[in-house]
Amino acid sequence: MPVRSLDDARRLYVDLLGLEVLVDEGGYVRIGGGGGFHMGVEQEPDGAIKQADLVVRVDDVDAIVQRLRAAGIDVTDPEDQEWGARHAWLHDADGRPISIYTPLHAGG
């Protein structure tokens, strides 16, 4: 995924959302989480950013929303959805939409 700033991407995905850095090779970082989720993040030299819709499962969406807001990130209030998850939405530093969620029922 191309980004304008690896520092901004790392702050959001690692520091605030709690994903892990799996590979760090200067201009490229691979970030991952539980269940085998991985995402390659690469500094885009010409600033041409492509749109991507990211969905990240978190342990407690309400707690993460509080952490994001404390860090100055604009995020919607979490809401229970009919498909069985509690979601909140935000955008990364390059304007890509991100949905963070917690299943409403164990195992979901």
Q: Give the model confidence (pLDDT) of 20-56 as tens digits.
A: 998 888 888 888 876 767 777 877 776 666 655 678 8
Give the chain's domains with CATH numbers: 2-103 (3.10.180.10)
Q: Give the model confidence (pLDDT) of 54-67 as tens digits.
A: 788 899 999 999 99
What integer pLDDT is reported at residue 48 of this predicted model? 63
What integer pLDDT is reported at residue 51 of this predicted model? 57
Q: CB neighbours of 12 closer than 8 A, spacing ≥ 6?
A: 73, 92, 93
Mean pLDDT of the chain: 85
Neighbours of 41 (CB within 10 A): 20
The reported pTM is 0.66
pLDDT above 90: percentage of residues in the chain: 36
